[in-house]
Amino acid sequence: MVELISIATKAIFVENILLAFFLGMCSFLACSKKIETATGLGLAVIFVLGVTAPVNWLINHYLLRDGALAWLGYPNVNLSFLQFICYIATIAAMVQLVEMVMDKFTPALYQALGIFLPLIAVNCAILGTSLFMGTKGYDFTESTVFGLSSGFGWLLAIVAMAAIRTKLQYSNIPHGLRGLGITMLITGLMALGFMSFIGINL
Partner 1 sequence: MSVAEAVVEVQAKAKPDWFGKKQKKTLTDPFWDNNPITLQVLGICSALAVTSQLKPTVVMCIALTIVLTGSNFVISVIRRHIPSKIRIIVMLSIVSTLVTLVDQILKAYAFDMSKELSVFVGLIITNCIVLGRAEAFAMANKPWPSLLDGLGNGLGYSVILLMVGFGRELFGSGSLFGFQVIPQALYDMGYVNVGLMVLPPGAFILLGLIIWVQKQSSKQFEE
What part of residues 100-129 is at the interface with partner 1 (CB under 8 A)? 118-119, 121-124, 126-128
End-to-end CA distance of the chain: 11
For 121-136, give the secondary structure using H, E and C: HHCHHHHHHHHHHHHH
Distance set, CA 146 to CA 107, 133, 139, 185 (Å): 30, 8, 10, 28
Q: How many residues lie near partner 1 (CB under 8 A)? A: 48
**Shortest Å, Cβ 73 to partner 1:** 26
Give the contact letters, 129-168, x = binds to partner 1 (CB under 8 A), - = no. Answer: --xx--x---------------------------------
> Among the candidate windows 44-52, 58-66, 102-110, 172-180, which touches partner 1 by CB under 8 A?
172-180
> Cα separation of 36 and 14, whole Å?
26
What part of residues 37-76 is at the interface with partner 1 (CB under 8 A)? none
For partner 1, the closer of residues 89 and 101 by Cβ is 89
Per the CB < 8 A criterion, the answer to whether 98 and 48 are in contact is yes
Looking at residue 78, its amino acid is N
> Cα separation of 70 and 51, whole Å?
26
SS3 79: coil
**Shortest Å, Cβ 85 to partner 1:** 4
Told to check if 202 binds partner 1 by CB under 8 A, we report: no
> Cα separation of 38 and 31, whole Å?
6
For partner 1, the closer of residues 2 and 172 by Cβ is 172
Told to check if 30 binds partner 1 by CB under 8 A, we report: yes
Applying CB under 8 A, the residues found at the interface with partner 1 are 19-26, 29-30, 81-85, 88-89, 92, 118-119, 121-124, 126-128, 131-132, 135, 174-185, 187-189, 191-192, 195
